[in-house]
Amino acid sequence: MLAVFATLTFLIAMWLCAAIVANTLEQSGSKIIAGLKGRSLLASPAAPPIKVRVSQRYPVSQRPVRAWAGLRAAA
């Protein structure tokens, strides 16, 4: 009789572990896969920079200012 209860306990524990793993993969599976591939989910797709017009009233001897599409959308 003890073997029956031990087997049931083992099967319940295995089912619980499988349910926890499935829940974890459901919530963050895409993050895990992206991390294994070396990509970041936060990185936006490569978009060309957008040229920004700067007033010529006060010329500055720096590189031209460029705004990325992601930064422009955040503003």
pTM higher than 0.75: no
pLDDT mean across residues, the chain: 78
List Cβ neighbours of 26 (8 Å cut-off, separation of 6 or more): none
Residue scoring higher pLDDT (14 or 69):
14
Total domains in the fold of the chain = 1
State residue 31's pLDDT score: 83
Residue 39 burial (CB count, 10 A): 10
By residue range, what is the domain housing residue 28? 2-74
